[in-house]
Amino acid sequence: MIGFINETQIELPVQNESQLIRWIRAVAAVYGCTVGDLTYIFCNDEKILEVNRRFLGHDYYTDVITFDYSTAKHLSGDIYISLDTVASNADEIGVPFEQELRRIIIHGLLHLTGQGDKTPETKLQMTAKEEKALAMWS
């Protein structure tokens, strides 16, 4: 089951939930995976900073934090997304908010498939996979 919740007083940004769920499952299938219990938690910068400090020991803001509970090729997890950071990133790179949000939604999913982004090489791989996934949106 794929769920979308808000952790703060932010309105849920999901417009067409069934389309989004189909897309997430289709992207997972590209990597030979199925989706189990997957929850997207939309929050603000302060909440994601709190999560980053509490669970990861990091003292900085970020756009997405993925907690992986997957088994083999069955993806499950909690994905926190800061809508504040998504909005500022979209403004900075000059893309619509909805497009940047989809990129971050898939970024979290790609982490569950095993894709990292800690080195320049893995960042390039992540970006290419995000672009491939965005091209699948319909």
Dig out the tokens for 103 from the structure. Answer: 């990129």
For β-strands 74-82 and 64-68, DSSP reports them as antiparallel
Q: What is the pLDDT of residue 17?
A: 87
Of all residues in the chain, what percent carry a pLDDT higher than 70?
96
Rounded to the nearest 5 degrees, what angle is found at the Cα of 113, between the Cα atoms of 81 and 47? 15
Which letter, b or e, does each residue of 56-85 get, where b requires 16 or more Cβ atoms within 10 Å of its Cβ? eeeeeebbbbebeebeeeebbbbbbbbbbb
Domain span at residue 8 reads 2-135
pLDDT tens figures, 35-75: 999 999 999 999 999 999 999 999 999 999 999 999 999 99
With 0.85 as the threshold, say if the pTM is over it: yes
CATH number of the CATH domain containing 54: 3.40.390.30
- Amino acid, res. 18: S
pLDDT tens figures, 20-37: 999 999 999 999 999 999
How many domains are there within the chain? 1
